[in-house]
Amino acid sequence: MALKGCMGKITAGPTPEAVGEVRSWETDEAADVQDSSVMGSCAKRKSVTGVETTLNFTAYYDAADAGQLLLVPGNTVDVELYPEGDAATMVYYTGEALITSRRRSADVNGMIEFTVASHIQGALTQEVVAA
């Protein structure tokens, strides 16, 4: 069954604060692969030494938004990612994000956008909204 993202949201910080005006978010999980070949065999061998997760999202910029104000490069903040909303029994993900960059961009034909990139410290945890 296809899911709709239109009800999704992000929260940040210890309280947590909703990050306003979010347009999209994405996570990327990638294995760190190393060559573990040894002499005596001409076949290559690879090993996974870790998994890295990144979180990127775009929102309309709001200078007064409490959630957006927490997202400063160098800050580590707790995040909650709700793919399709926060109603009871819906799945969401939690983690700790190290904010690595933020960008604001303006266009003559559009709204000012706010883009954030981060690295998740450890792994994202899948949870279910309590009933």
Residue-wise pLDDT tens digits, 54-93: 999 999 999 999 999 999 999 999 999 999 999 999 999 9
Q: Give the pTM.
A: 0.87
Q: Is residue 3 part of a domain?
A: no
- Total domains in the chain come to 1
Q: Which two tokens stand for residue 109?
A: 């034909």
Domain that holds residue 76: 9-33+44-128
- We report the CATH number of the domain holding residue 20 as 2.40.10
- pLDDT greater than 90 at residue 115: yes
Q: Which two tokens stand for residue 46?
A: 């690879």
Q: How far is residue 46 from each of residues 30, 39, 104, measured CA to CA in Å? A: 15, 14, 40
Q: What is the pLDDT of residue 131?
A: 85
With 70 as the cut, is the pLDDT of residue 1 above it?
no
| 2 located within any domain | no
The closest of 8, 3, 4, 2 to 23, measured between CA atoms, is 8
